[in-house]
Amino acid sequence: MAAAIAVESLIRPEVRALSAYHVADAVGYVKLDAMENPYTWPEAMTAEWLERLRSLPLNRYPDPSPAGLKTLLRDSNGVPPGMDLLLGNGSDEIIQMLLMAVAGPGVKVLAPEPTFVMYRQIASTLGLEFVGVPLAADFSMDMPAMAAAIAEHKPALVFLAYPNNPTGNLFERADVEAIVALTPGLVVVDEAYAPFAEASFMEDLPRHGNLLVMRTLSKLGLAGLRLGFLAGPPSWLHELDKVRMPYNINVLTQATVEFALERLPVFEEQTALLRQERAALFQALQSMPGITPFPSRANFILFRCEGVAAGDVFDGIKRGGVLIKNSSSAGGALSGCLRVTVGKPEENRRFISALEQAISGR
């Protein structure tokens, strides 16, 4: 029998120092914690999709570079001519590929914070130094601080979530352009919430040699398929493709995304409804005493609890049968903040009712 091996003798210290990404158990709750599209497909569309799946050759490996799927992604996302695409198993894998490609001694990665936690999480697992630059008090970009950090650290990669997660705001276009100009490495604009933002840097790709745009289909309504993509100059994507795992996009995902993008108006109608609900939900939150919502261009709203502990409000909402995100636990600028995904009208009403009861102490 082999001798027991101590975990700390093999697992790197930076990995042991991390906490695994936690996904809350949502069974039995109105699920408004994960920025998902709450709408399902029409029954006729589902039946047609299932029929298409019958012919898939599940005994064969998937196409490692599906040209038809890439064409649909180009057309539906306005990718400029001459730009290439790199596909990933969700945007998380794209982030991992980017960081793996630049990893090395002394390499630094930078992003304004608070932002999407996986930039720091994946960088740390790969042994890269991550530099977080605090946003201003209103969550806008602190450009003097960003410019100073870029000059000092000379990052190989800068991540900019646009709109930002978990704050929901769009950074000023001029600030993003200035960061692209100042950065000696690559700038990745993460447009995960593009269907709700009505703003993009996709058309700017030909103008900047160090700009890449990342998107995902998760927020559009295909979160279960796990497909993300990176758009940018072929010279960059050719190198990044070398660290991509072969066959990383499975047959079912490829076929289903093609099917869905051929019926894009269905999803455009759903996202338009969610933008309307976002405005109504923001207005409802604005009218509540002790609640300060932050303007959002995503499919969620961050709000701060005043005069009552955010953890108590979160627990009260959960007792009311609604699951949202407790952003306050991250501390710092997010202290006192909770985040709610925009749901269907009846889900949003259920949330508001639970929130009212939570802040009143009932």
Residues 230-244 pLDDT 10s: 999 999 999 999 999
User: pLDDT confidence of 21, banded at 50, 70, 90?
Assistant: low
DSSP assignment of 17-76: TS-PPP----TTSEE-SS--------HHHHHHHHHHHTT--TTSPPPSS-HHHHHHHHHH
pLDDT one-digit tens code per residue, 287-301:
999 999 999 999 999
Local structure of residue 325 (DSSP, 8 states): B
Third-level CATH fold of 58-262 = Aspartate Aminotransferase; domain 2 (3.40.640)
Between residues 148 and 362, the one the model is more confident about: 148
pLDDT one-digit tens code per residue, 94-138:
999 999 999 999 999 999 999 999 999 999 999 999 999 999 999
362 pLDDT higher than 60: no
Q: What is the mean pLDDT of residues 339-350?
A: 98
50 pLDDT higher than 60: yes
Give the pLDDT of residue 9: 73
72 pLDDT higher than 60: yes
Query: Interhelix angle for 345-360 vs 310-319, to 10°?
Result: 130
Give the pLDDT of residue 83: 98
CATH code for residues 7-42+265-360: 3.90.1150.10
Strands (E), the chain: 30-31, 84-88, 108-113, 129-134, 157-161, 186-190, 211-216, 228-232, 291-293, 300-305, 322-323, 337-341
Q: Which two tokens stand for residue 208?
A: 């900047």
Domain assignments of the chain as residue spans, ordered by start:
7-42+265-360, 58-262
1 pLDDT higher than 90: no
